[in-house]
Amino acid sequence: MFFWAAFFFVVGVFIGSVALALHAAVWQTAFVGISAGITIIALWFMDIRNIAPYAACIAIGGAYCLIYAAHRFPERIPFGRNTKMTGMVTRAEYHFDHQELTLGNGLRVYADRYPEFEYGDTIAFRGTVKKPRTPLLAGIVNARHAAIRIRERNGGYAIQKILLKTKTLFENGLKRILPSDQAAFLSGLTLGTTDEFTKEFLEELRASGTTHIVALSGSNVTGIITGIMFLLGLILPRRKIFWPTVLVIALFVIMTGAESSLVRAAIMNGIFLIGARYERAGSMRNAILAAGFLMALWNPLVPAFDLGFQLSFAAILGMAYLVPRIEKWLPWKNRALLESVSAQAAVMPLLALTVGRVTPFAIIPNMLIAAAVPCTVALGFIAGGFALISPALAFAPAWLAGILLSYEMEVIHIAARYL
């Protein structure tokens, strides 16, 4: 009952997201109600019992999405007019020639590279707000070359500041123990940070179809959990590291910005960890739906408007349902390769519809590096953790990670050149 209730709630959230295209609230409500009614009729013709609760879940999901969207950004920002704006920076991403700031009022601001702004800064500036393509944002402002003043510093949550400082120390530790290009790539694999990627390497990732490996997801999180458990095992008895591991994973998700793919992977891995802890059999189907349900409950706009969410779930569904079918027809049973192929096959139609660019032969480099990524991430996480104490302690794991990083970067380079 919970599985189907959660499933139809998520369906209702999608319906509510579609209804947002109808700007009048009365039409949005009518659309959700009619859709719930059509579902009742369809389930009745399919001879499915207990129709009413499922239709109610659709209606609840749709209504929840509409109410959330109506109250997401209470501050009304005029579009197309030069306006004075203020807001607190909740996320700052640094690139070679600009900064990308997300403000608490929902604005995304593109600013000059310097001076740097960070989490907790309240800034004021003038600019013209462009209407976004997605309701996940209140608007987009190109404030490059604009005069941006800091009105207040040290805002925000203390725990978030501590986590961000830890992230910076971790990245600096990687730079001390690895060559700059490998340190940047390892930061991408472990933290999802691409700030120091060169334009050439970013283009190679796109051309080879391997951009997803620096978007924290399943294989990356598996390696991160392995690294966390190893480090905690050095200071705690093995039987007592379970809940500290879960806590560190939660803090890690917050520290890295809670991207959809990472949240999905963290929820699913958390479910399987808890299942193993209490000796309960895991169900991939239930874990996938639980992750989708919890994420839709947190932000019902994400399933329909966040491409990262859609790609992540398409990939995991491909691995869950395509691998068993492909496996029956193959003489060799390399699970990592099969999962990579299945994930790529599942996301290609979605990429073709949304991005318009698909690399059919991307399966080849992905197959070649799929098995190495979790091991690289685990070694990188261990090396980065040791580097926080002393670079000398990190020598062995950094050396091993460097070998894998060299291999993966060479595969990406060759694939980008010849595929």
Examine the pLDDT at 253 and tell me if it is beyond 70: yes
| Average confidence (pLDDT) over 244-265 | 84
Q: Which residue has the higher pLDDT, 67 or 213?
A: 67
Give me the pLDDT at residue 332, please.
Answer: 65
With beta carbons less than 8 A apart as the criterion, state whether 98 and 76 touch. no
**Mean pLDDT value across residues 328-340:** 71
DSSP E strands: which ranges in 43-120?
82-94, 98-103, 107-112
Report the first-to-last Cα separation within the chain, whole angstroms: 48
Chain Cα centroid distance, residue 29 = 31
pLDDT at 331 exceeding the cut of 70:
no
Please report how the helices 372-387 and 218-233 are oriented relative to each other, as an axis angle in degrees rounded to 10. 40
Q: Which range, of 84-93, 304-313, 326-335, averages the lowest pLDDT? A: 326-335
Residue 225, classed as helix, strand or coil, is helix
Q: pLDDT value at position 198?
A: 84
Q: What is the mean pLDDT of residues 19-45?
A: 82
The tokens for 234 are: 């050095």
Predicted confidence at residue 74, as pLDDT, reads 77
Confidence band, pLDDT 50/70/90 cuts, at residue 218: low
DSSP H/E element including 388: none
Tell me the average pLDDT across 105-126. 91
Q: What is the rounded CA–CA span in Å between residue 85 and residue 105?
A: 10
Q: Picking from 54-58, 84-88, 157-161, which range would have the lowest pLDDT averaged per residue?
A: 54-58
Pick from 225, 186, 216: nearest CA to 308: 216
Residue 403 has pLDDT above 90, yes or no: yes
User: CA 222 to CA 263: how far, in whole Å?
Assistant: 13
Q: Which of 378, 397, 398, 406 is nearest to 176 (CA)?
A: 398
Residue percentage of the chain with pLDDT more than 90? 20
What is the mean pLDDT of the segment spanning 302-318?
84
Per-residue confidence (pLDDT) for residue 402, from 0 to 100:
92
pLDDT at 125: 92
Right CATH number for 82-156 from 2.60.40.10, 1.10.606.20, 3.40.50.261, 2.40.50.140?
2.40.50.140
pLDDT digits (tens, 9 = 90+) for 44-80: 777 666 777 888 888 899 999 999 988 888 777 888 8
Of 412, 67, 39, residue with least CA distance to 210 = 412
154 has a pLDDT exceeding 80? yes
Per-chain mean pLDDT for the chain? 84
Q: Tokens at residue 390, please?
A: 């002393």
Q: Is the pTM of this model over 0.75?
A: yes
100 Rama sector, left if φ>0, alpha if ψ -120 to 50, beta otherwise? beta
Of the two residues 245 and 406, the one the predictor is more confident about is 406
Give long-range contacts, CB 8 A cutoff, 24+ apart: 74-80. Answer: 75/105, 75/106, 75/138, 77/105, 77/107, 77/129, 77/138, 77/139, 78/129, 79/129, 79/130, 79/131, 79/139, 80/128, 80/129, 80/130, 80/131
| Per-residue confidence (pLDDT) for residue 216, from 0 to 100 | 73
List the chain domain ranges.
Answer: 2-71, 82-156, 162-418
Does the pLDDT at position 297 exceed 80?
yes
